[in-house]
Structure 1
Amino acid sequence: MKRSDESTYSWLHRLNPDPYSLAVNAALLELVPPGLRLLHYTRTTVPAEHLGAFAFYHRKIGPFHLDGIPEPMQREMMFVIWRIIELGGRVPCAPMGLLMRELAETTQRLKTAGLPFQSLTDRTPAQWKAELSRTWVKRTHAFPNPQTFRTYVSPLDRACKILWFTYDTSPWWQREVWDLTMDPRIPRRTQEPSGQKAIHWHTMEPAWLRHGGMYFVKSMMESSQLAWSTAHGAKNALVQFARFAMARGLTSPRLVQDDRQLRGLMMEFLTELRSTPNYGIRNRDKPRSPASIGQITSTVRAFYAFMHDYGDEAAAALDDDRWDGLSPEYLRFWRPGDIGSSKKEHFDESYLYSDADLAKIKAAAPLLGLPRAEGGFGDPQAMRILLLMMTTGRRINEICMLDARPLTLLEDNLAKLRYQQTKIHDAPDTIFVDQEVIELIQEQQAWLHAHLATIGADADPPYLFVSRHNNLRGQNPYLTHVFRTQLTKLVDRAHLTDAAGDPLDLGKTHRFRHTKATSLFNAGVPLHVVQRYMGHTTPEMTMHYAQTLDSTAKTEFLKYKKITSTATESAVDAEDLYDLMLLDTRTDRVLPNGWCTLPPAKTCEKGNACLTCDLFATDERFLDIHKSELVSLDSLIDQRQEIHRERTGEPMSENHVWLTLRRREQQALSTIVKNLETGGSKPAAALPAPATQAREQAGMLGGQGVRTGHRP
Structure 2
Amino acid sequence: MGEPPIDQFVADCAARTDVVNTDTYDLRGLPAGLAREIQYGLQCRADENRLKTQPRRLMPLIRSLERQGTVSLREHPLDEWTSMIAEIPGLGWQSTSVAFIRDCLDYLERLEGRVGWDAEYPKDIWRLKNIGLPRERVATLRFDRIQPEWIRESAKRWCRWRLSTGSSATATAANLFAVTRFGQFLERTGRQVPVPSALDRPVIEDYLAWVSIECPDPCTRRKDLGGFASFLRTLQQHRWEPGLSPGAMIFNEDYPDAPDLKEKALPEFLAAQLELESNLSRFREPRFRVLTEILQRTGIRVGDARRLGIDCLDHDQHGAAYLRYRNHKMRRDARTPIDDALAGSIAAEQRRVRQLHPTGSVLFPMTRNNLDGDRPIDRALYAKYLKEWIRECGIRTATGDPAHVHPHQFRHTYATRLINTGVPQHVVKKLLDHDSDTMTAHYARLSMETVREEWSKATKVNIAGHEVHEVDGELADAVWLKNSLSRVKMALPNGFCTLPLQQTCEYANACLTCPMFLTTTEFLPQHKSQLTETQALVQSARQHGHERVAEMNEKVERNLLNIIGSLESKKAGCCGPDSPCQCRQSEEPREVNGAR
Q: Does 1:308 align with 2:236?
A: yes
Q: Say if 2:295 and 2:305, in contact at 8 Å, map to a contact too.
A: yes
Q: Which residue of 1 aligns with 2:257?
A: 341
Q: Shift of residue 307 of structure 1? A: 1.4
Range with greater deviation from structure 2 (517-526 or 543-552): 517-526
1:196 and 1:469, CA in 2 relative to 1: closer, same or farther beyond 3 A?
farther
Q: Shift of residue 618 of structure 1? A: 2.0
The 2-side partners of 1:268 and 1:245 are apart by: 10
Q: Say if 2:126 and 2:141, in contact at 8 Å, map to a contact too.
A: yes
Q: Does 1:352 align with 2:352?
A: no
> Which of 340, 365, 375 is the equivalent residue of 2:280?
365
The 2-side partners of 1:127 and 1:530 are apart by: 53
Q: Which residue of 2 aligns with 1:328?
A: 246
What amino acid does structure 2 have at the position aligned with 1:158?
A: R
Q: Say if 2:145 and 2:183, in contact at 8 Å, map to a contact too.
A: no
Q: Which residue of 1 aligns with 2:208?
A: 270
Matched position secondary structure for 2:321? strand
Q: Which residue of 1 aligns with 2:23?
A: 62
> Which of 658, 662, 669 is the equivalent residue of 2:549?
658
Q: Which residue of 2 aligns with 1:78?
A: 39
CA distances 1:295-330 after superposition (whole Å, capped 9, x unpaired): 111221221121123344xxxxxxxxxx33213212
RMSD over aligned Cα, in angstroms?
3.5
Q: Say if 1:95 and 1:155, in contact at 8 Å, map to a contact too.
A: no
What amino acid does structure 1 have at the position aligned with 2:234?
A: F
Matched position secondary structure for 2:172? helix
Matched position secondary structure for 2:336? strand
The 2-side partners of 1:679 and 1:233 are apart by: 55
The 2-side partners of 1:250 and 1:413 are apart by: 66
1:338 and 1:586, CA in 2 relative to 1: closer, same or farther beyond 3 A?
same
What amino acid does structure 1 have at the position aligned with 2:56?
A: A
> Which of 352, 370, 392 is the equivalent residue of 1:447?
352
> Which of 563, 567, 571 is the equivalent residue of 1:672?
563
What amino acid does structure 1 have at the position aligned with 2:163?
A: M
Runs of 5+ unmatched residues, structure 2: 1-17, 576-596
1:435 and 1:683, CA in 2 relative to 1: closer, same or farther beyond 3 A?
farther
The 1-side partners of 2:210 and 2:89 are apart by: 50
The 2-side partners of 1:247 and 1:525 are apart by: 53
Runs of 5+ unmatched residues, structure 1: 1-56, 111-116, 134-142, 187-191, 278-286, 313-322, 369-376, 453-458, 685-712
Q: Which residue of 2 aligns with 1:478?
A: 377
CA distances 1:217-263 after superposition (whole Å, capped 9, x unpaired): 22122122x21221121122222212111113344365674x7xx33
Q: Which residue of 1 aligns with 2:422?
A: 524
Alignment of 1:53-202 (within 5 A): 58=19, 61-66=22-27, 68-85=29-46, 86=48, 88-100=50-62, 103=65, 107=69, 117=71, 119-124=72-77, 146-147=90-91, 157-159=101-103, 161-163=105-107, 166=110, 168-169=114-115, 170-180=118-128, 182-186=129-133, 193-194=135-136, 196-202=138-144
The 2-side partners of 1:128 and 1:666 are apart by: 90
1:197 and 1:555, CA in 2 relative to 1: closer, same or farther beyond 3 A?
farther
1:270 and 1:102, CA in 2 relative to 1: closer, same or farther beyond 3 A?
closer
> Which of 396, 404, 417 is the equivalent residue of 1:505?
404
> Which of 579, 584, 589 is the equivalent residue of 2:481?
579
Range with greater deviation from structure 2 (192-201 or 556-565): 192-201
The 1-side partners of 2:275 and 2:73 are apart by: 52
Q: Shift of residue 564 of structure 1? A: 3.1
Alignment of 1:588-599 (within 5 A): 589-599=490-500
The 1-side partners of 2:480 and 2:131 are apart by: 57
Q: Shift of residue 392 of structure 1? A: 0.7
Matched position secondary structure for 2:322? strand
Q: Does 1:544 align with 2:497?
A: no
The 1-side partners of 2:443 and 2:288 are apart by: 27
Q: Say if 1:596 and 1:615, in contact at 8 Å, map to a contact too.
A: yes
CA distances 1:389-442 after superposition (whole Å, capped 9, x unpaired): 11111110110111110111214651221111121245x611122212211221
CA distances 1:507-555 after superposition (whole Å, capped 9, x unpaired): x111100110111122222211110110112122211111111111111
Q: Does 1:297 align with 2:190?
A: no
Q: Which residue of 1 aligns with 2:184?
A: 243
Aligned residues: 548
Q: Say if 2:196 and 2:244, in contact at 8 Å, map to a contact too.
A: no
What amino acid does structure 2 have at the position aligned with 1:367?
A: R
CA distances 1:32-68 after superposition (whole Å, capped 9, x unpaired): xxxxxxxxxxxxxxxxxxxxxxxxx956541224465
Alignment of 1:30-49 (within 5 A): none
Q: Say if 1:413 and 1:434, in contact at 8 Å, map to a contact too.
A: no
1:382 and 1:677, CA in 2 relative to 1: closer, same or farther beyond 3 A?
closer
The 2-side partners of 1:183 and 1:367 are apart by: 42
Q: Shift of residue 385 of structure 1? A: 0.7
Q: Say if 1:565 and 1:616, in contact at 8 Å, map to a contact too.
A: yes
Taking structure 1 as the reference length, the TM-score comes to: 0.69
Q: Which residue of 1 aligns with 2:582?
A: none
CA distances 1:124-167 after superposition (whole Å, capped 9, x unpaired): 5687799999xxxxxxxxx9961559599566543455357536
Q: Which residue of 2 aligns with 1:706?
A: none
The 1-side partners of 2:88 and 2:439 are apart by: 61
Q: Say if 1:95 and 1:152, in contact at 8 Å, map to a contact too.
A: yes
The 2-side partners of 1:676 and 1:597 are apart by: 19
Q: Say if 1:165 and 1:183, in contact at 8 Å, map to a contact too.
A: no
Q: Say if 2:269 and 2:397, in contact at 8 Å, map to a contact too.
A: no
1:396 and 1:61, CA in 2 relative to 1: closer, same or farther beyond 3 A?
same
Q: Shift of residue 590 of structure 1? A: 2.9
CA distances 1:420-470 after superposition (whole Å, capped 9, x unpaired): 1121245x6111222122112211111111222xxxxxx332211101111
Matched position secondary structure for 1:488? helix
Q: Which residue of 2 aligns with 1:136?
A: none
Q: Does 1:607 align with 2:508?
A: yes
Taking structure 2 as the reference length, the TM-score comes to: 0.81
The 1-side partners of 2:563 and 2:516 are apart by: 14
1:437 and 1:87, CA in 2 relative to 1: closer, same or farther beyond 3 A?
same
Q: Does 1:422 align with 2:328?
A: yes
Q: Which residue of 2 aligns with 1:280?
A: none
Q: Shift of residue 176 of structure 1? A: 2.9
Q: Say if 2:196 and 2:243, in contact at 8 Å, map to a contact too.
A: no
The 2-side partners of 1:664 and 1:542 are apart by: 47
Q: Shift of residue 93 of structure 1? A: 1.7
